[in-house]
Amino acid sequence: MFKKMIAKSMSKSPWIYHMNTGSCNGCDIELVACLTPRFDAERFGFKLAGSPRHADIVVVSGPITSQSKDRLIRTLEQVPKPFCVVSLGSCPKSGNVFKGSYSVEAPLDKYVNVDVSVAGCACKPETIIEGLYKATLILQKKREAMEK
């Protein structure tokens, strides 16, 4: 009985851990804007987690730099299973304007399975919220698969 209650409550309030892997901060500002009263992503239950150990969804912004790659992998190892990875903006997907730089090791999907990609440079808050919602649905399916 308690497991069902916990599972139901967890599905309604996914916690987000945001990781910047070398971005220009454009997508970071838009993600924070989603959590403010204007766009209010918290009405859908999204909360920003201070630790990857509490996260359900990991949002990655920026091209994967040489310095951040190992930190990204170590951080994702700390996130409890199952979890979703959301690629925020064009940088994690392709490297964007930083592609070909000596210190950029993009794309993100070379190192981790990306569940949802939110396009844009910088992404609009509406598309970020939509991407987080899609990640919530994927997360729910992953949890159901683990229970079987």
**Tally of domains within the chain:** 1
Order the strands of the 116-118 sheet from edge to edge. 47-48, 15-20, 57-61, 84-88, 116-118
Mean confidence (pLDDT) of the chain: 87
**Measured distance CA(42)–CA(75) in Å, rounded:** 24
Question: Is pLDDT at 135 greater than 90 in this prediction?
Answer: yes
**Measured distance CA(144)–CA(19) in Å, rounded:** 26
Band (pLDDT 50/70/90 cuts) for residue 8 is low
Question: Is pLDDT at 121 greater than 80 in this prediction?
Answer: yes
Question: Is pLDDT at 7 greater than 70 in this prediction?
Answer: no
List pLDDT tens digits, range 101-112.
888 887 888 899
**Measured distance CA(88)–CA(60) in Å, rounded:** 6
Mean pLDDT within 27-44: 89
pTM across the whole model:
0.88
**Measured distance CA(34)–CA(57) in Å, rounded:** 15
Q: Which domain holds residue 132?
A: 2-147
Mean pLDDT within 70-91: 93
pLDDT of residue 146: 84
Band (pLDDT 50/70/90 cuts) for residue 4 is low
Residue 116: CATH number of its domain: 3.40.50.12280
